[in-house]
Amino acid sequence: MIREQAQEMSIRFDSYPENEQFARMTIMAFLVDLNPTVDEMEDVKTAVSEAVTNAIIHGYEKEVGQVLLTCTKVGSRVSITVTDYGKGIEDIKKAREPFFTTRPDAERSGMGFAFMEAFMDEVHIESEQGHGTRIIMNKKLHLLQKV
Ligand SMILES: Nc1ncnc2c1ncn2[C@@H]1O[C@H](COP(=O)(O)OP(=O)(O)O)[C@@H](O)[C@H]1O
Ligand SMILES: [Mg+2]
C-alpha cells in the first residue's frame, strides 16, 4: 500500500558477516508493498549489501560492533541509512573513487561506493574517525499499477 505519510523501520544487529543477508532480506520485506520492479529490488539489495558489508569489514575490522539499518518510505520515495560506530573513514573523497580500497589484502574491489551511487539516486557519506560512519541512500521507485 502506498502511503503519503512517512513510514519507518529500524533494526540493529551485530557485525557478523552472515547478518549482511539478514539486512538485505529485511529491506526487501519492508519495501515489497511498494510493488518495486525486479530491477529496483536488485538495485536496493546491492546498495544495502555494499553499505552493510563496509560497516562489517571496514568499520569494525576484527572487532564485533553494532550496525543500525533504517528505512523510511514516503509514497514511493525510499531513504535508507546504514550506521556503524567503528573506526570511521579517513578520506571520504578518496573512498568514493572507483577502485579505491584500503583492504586489497581482503580481496576488496574498491567498487562498493561506485555501486551504491550507480544504483541509488543519492548517496551521502557522514563519517568521523574513531566514531563511525553513516551512509544515507535515497531512491525514488516507479509505481507499477497493481492488477
Ligand atoms: N563503514 C566504513 N567504515 C570505515 N571505512 C569505510 C567504511 N566504508 C568504506 N570505508 C572505506 O572506503 C573504502 C572504499 O569502500 P568501497 O568502495 O566499498 O570499496 P571496498 O569495500 O572494496 O574497499 C574502503 O576500502 C574503506 O577504506
Ligand atoms: Mg565495500
For the question of residue 108 being annotated catalytic, the response is yes
**How does residue 5 score in pLDDT terms, banded at 50, 70 and 90?**
very high
CB proximity list for 75: less than 8 A, separation 6 or greater = 2, 3, 4
The catalytic position among 108, 117, 126, 138 is 108
Number of H helices, E strands in the chain: 4, 5
The catalytic position among 19, 24, 40, 54 is 54
**How does residue 147 score in pLDDT terms, banded at 50, 70 and 90?**
low
Question: Residue whose CA is closest, atom 2 of ligand 1?
Answer: 59
55-74 per-position pLDDT tens digit: 999 999 989 999 999 999 99
Reported pTM: 0.95
Residue 88 in grid coordinates = 570511521
Closest-lying ligand to the alpha carbon of 58? Answer: 1
Ion ligand 2: protein residues whose beta carbon lies under 5 Å: 54, 112
**How does residue 26 score in pLDDT terms, banded at 50, 70 and 90?**
very high
DSSP string of 69-134, one letter each residue? EEEEEETTEEEEEEEE-SS--S-HHHHHSTT--S-GGGT--S-HHHHHHHHSSEEEEEEETTTEEE
Residue 105 CB-half CA count within 13 A: 5
**Contact indicator for 69, 48 with CB cutoff of 8 Å:** yes
Q: Which atom of ligand 1 is nearest to the CA of 125?
A: 8
CB proximity list for 13: less than 8 A, separation 6 or greater = 19, 22, 23, 66, 67, 69
Identify which of 49, 63, 87, 89 to mutate to test ligand 1's pocket (most ligand atoms within 8 A of the CB).
89
Q: What is the pLDDT of residue 37?
A: 94
The domains of the chain, with CATH numbers, are 7-140 (3.30.565.10)
